Chains A and B, each alone.
Chain A
Amino acid sequence: MARRVSVQTRIGFTVLAWVIALLLFSPILWTLLTAFKTEAEAIASRPTFFPQNFTLENFGAVQERSDYFKHAINSILVSFGSTILGLIIGIPAAWSMAFAPSKRTKDILMWMLSTKMMPAVGVLIPIYLIFRDLRLLDTVHGLTLIMTLINLPIIIWMLYTYFKEIPVDILEAARMDGAELWNEITHVLVPMAVPGIASTLLLNVILAWNEAFWTITLTSGRAGTLTAFISSFSSPQGLFLAKLSAASLLAIAPILLVGWFSQKQLVRGLTFGAVK
């Protein structure tokens, strides 16, 4: 028999869900509204909800002061580049851990995860010095490299979890059918893991897109991504709130849209394996 839920309970939960969703959405909504206000209105002591003098001048000012498109292109290069690089390394790594594990595989997985527990600032100085000596400071490829390294543990962990769900019989059947390792991975494993690989790609693009710490410390004008772009609009003095909001909105818009359209894929990816 199906579980009966009373109308009151259903209304209660619906209201609660809406309240939580609006709370989570409110900073983005506020940013959106502020971006269309004048600087004076943005910091008015009696804040207005809707812009009283609707204006687009903040967007013009932002593009004029620092090149939005250059930063956006850097963001795209770094986030997609690092994720694709990560997948190229991660797919074979996860294959070996899922299907040809050694005695130490579990330990290696845990160790990889543990690197994510360390605060990034802990390795700031060595990484900075290495980047300086290798002339990687403020370069797109340097930033791509560090982003790959940062997200690799997550990529491998996610892929490993997906691959574990694939029956090893099918890979063995491919081997019996004459598939060498490369064909086994490209013709059988990857097509079967497409949903998992897609959600790994999406999540890591988002993570890399939003990464701020390394982007801000390792770049300046040339290789800066949109996170560096936003931070350049925050200053200790002067009027900047509306321009900062406009910059933020421009920076998050692309990824917001990607997230919106791939919501289903993302949720499926993150709960993959929880329910067979």
Chain B
Amino acid sequence: MGSITLEHVNKSFGEVEIIPDISLDIEDGEFVVFVGPSGCGKSTLLRLIAGLEDTTSGKILLDGQDVTDAPPARRGLAMVFQSYALYPHMSVRDNIAFPLKMAKMPQAEIDKKVDYAARTLNLGSYLDRRPRALSGGQRQRVAIGRAIVREPKAFLFDEPLSNLDAALRVNMRLEITELHQQLKTTMIYVTHDQVEAMTMADRIVVLNAGNVEQFGSPLDLYKKPANRFVAGFIGSPKMNFVDGPEAAKHNAHSIGVRPEHFKLSTTEGAWKGTVGVAEQLGSDTFLHVQTDGLGLMTIRTDGDQTFSHGDVVYLTPDPTRIYKFDAAGKAL
């Protein structure tokens, strides 16, 4: 079991309020991603759940039990750190065995579990090495191995992939998702990378300045963003926003159109513009178009279309996919 409930959690460091008031319900077995720009309080929130920081007020419940004042060692959670945080003076085997040793498990059982974890994570031939003799990806696997052996109530991941190179990151992303499907244990994953959030999560918590902007499934967030912040944060490339008279035509303070929701033409359309940079990815091309009076817009088009700097294009937003926001940024 591993349901996690936050009730009006507040965290301040001295005068600075990092998290004003957050309540969340994370169900057992869910993969929840905390995503937001740097400094939004997502790591702090994770550390509060872990017990590495004390809440200023509010309650944290694990399986319905109040653990607000329990030290991290007594919460039964496992955490994977961005820096891996392996014990440099211990072999890979001892690193993975450490939580079991702390739990005073018999040695025979420890050996069995460590061997099983090592096989699952392809670490078999590295068990007697020290962490410094491993590559970044292997270290991350050891960190995950150390987390899974103790069969925690929930896994906490604090930006675990940001120190890896791009190719490895995609691999590890799949491995972690796979692991979740195997173990079916609650996982909370912190990242600033919305692609990670979209691809891995059952539900995403979008955080901004210590507040939950929206909590929902990835597609919910993409299709029905609660406000302008979420609309701008989820989706890559970013949503284009237009204010002023053009928005007023739609009875809104501002409107948003995703790059993939435009019809592109060289002869006619709603908004006229000139192509600036064309980023060709092969499968897609991202055009950065300077429109007349509406600013710079990003358009996603298929990779077969070729445009070059200075071409005149016409953009027509898909009328069924225009997002409308009021003056406060709330979705209409």
With both chains docked as a complex, state the minimum distance between the C-beta of A185 and any C-beta of chain B, in angstroms.
Answer: 13
Q: Are A169 and B83 in contact (CB under 8 A)?
A: yes
Q: Are B85 and A169 in contact (CB under 8 A)?
A: yes
- Considering only residues 171-187 of chain A, those with a C-beta below 8 Å from chain B are 172-180, 183, 187
B45 interfacial by beta-carbon distance below 8 Å = no
Q: Are A167 and B102 in contact (CB under 8 A)?
A: no
- Considering only residues 182-204 of chain A, those with a C-beta below 8 Å from chain B are 183, 187-188, 191-192, 194
Count, chain A residues at interface, CB 8 A: 18
Q: Are B73 and A179 in contact (CB under 8 A)?
A: yes
B103 interfacial by beta-carbon distance below 8 Å = yes
Contact A173:B73 (CB < 8 A) given known A178-B150, A183-B102: no
Q: Are B72 and A176 in contact (CB under 8 A)?
A: yes
Can you give 18 A-B contacts (C-beta < 8 A)?
A169-B82, A169-B85, A170-B87, A170-B88, A172-B52, A172-B72, A172-B81, A172-B85, A173-B86, A175-B73, A176-B50, A176-B78, A176-B79, A177-B73, A177-B146, A178-B102, A180-B73, A192-B89
With both chains docked as a complex, state the minimum distance between the C-beta of A197 and any C-beta of chain B, in angstroms.
Answer: 13
Q: Which residues of B contact A174 (CB under 8 A)?
A: 87, 98
Known: A169-B81, A177-B98, A180-B73. 5 other contacts (CB 8 A): A170-B85, A175-B72, A176-B72, A178-B102, A194-B89
A residues neighboring B (CB under 8 Å)? 167, 169-170, 172-180, 183, 187-188, 191-192, 194
B71 interfacial by beta-carbon distance below 8 Å = yes
Q: Are A192 and B73 in contact (CB under 8 A)?
A: no
Q: Are A173 and B81 in contact (CB under 8 A)?
A: yes
Q: Are B73 and A178 in contact (CB under 8 A)?
A: yes
Give A172 to B85 CA distance when docked, in angstroms: 8
Q: Are A175 and B71 in contact (CB under 8 A)?
A: yes
B residues neighboring A (CB under 8 Å)? 50-52, 71-73, 77-79, 81-83, 85-89, 98-99, 102-103, 146, 150, 156
Give A178 to B51 CA distance when docked, in angstroms: 12
With both chains docked as a complex, state the minimum distance between the C-beta of B184 and any C-beta of chain A, in angstroms.
Answer: 21
The total of interchain contacts (Cβ-Cβ below 8 angstroms) comes to: 61
Q: Are A177 and B102 in contact (CB under 8 A)?
A: yes
**CB-CB nearest in chain A for B79:** A176
**CB-CB nearest in chain A for B52:** A172
With both chains docked as a complex, state the minimum distance between the C-beta of B89 and any C-beta of chain A, in angstroms.
Answer: 5
**CB-CB nearest in chain B for A166:** B88
Q: Which residues of B contact A177 (CB under 8 A)?
A: 73, 78, 98-99, 102, 146, 150
> Which of B50, B72, B78, B86 has the largest number of chain A CB atoms within 10 A?
B72
Q: Which residues of B contact A170 (CB under 8 A)?
A: 85-88
Q: Which residues of A contact B50 (CB under 8 A)?
A: 176
With both chains docked as a complex, state the minimum distance between the C-beta of A274 and any C-beta of chain B, in angstroms.
Answer: 20
**CB-CB nearest in chain A for B152:** A176
> Which of B86, B87, B156 has the largest number of chain A CB atoms within 10 A?
B87
Q: Are B77 and A176 in contact (CB under 8 A)?
A: yes
Q: Which residues of B contact A175 (CB under 8 A)?
A: 51-52, 71-73
**CB-CB nearest in chain B for A167:** B83
Q: Are B87 and A188 in contact (CB under 8 A)?
A: yes
Q: Which residues of A contact B78 (CB under 8 A)?
A: 176-177
Q: Which residues of A contact B88 (CB under 8 A)?
A: 170, 192
Q: Which residues of A contact B79 (CB under 8 A)?
A: 172-173, 176
With both chains docked as a complex, state the minimum distance between the C-beta of A106 and any C-beta of chain B, in angstroms.
Answer: 16
> Which of B50, B71, B85, B156 has the largest number of chain A CB atoms within 10 A?
B85
Q: A-B pairs with the 9 shortest C-beta distances?
A: A177-B99, A173-B85, A178-B102, A169-B85, A175-B72, A176-B79, A191-B89, A178-B73, A170-B85
**CB-CB nearest in chain B for A179:** B102
With both chains docked as a complex, state the minimum distance between the C-beta of A90 and any C-beta of chain B, in angstroms.
Answer: 21
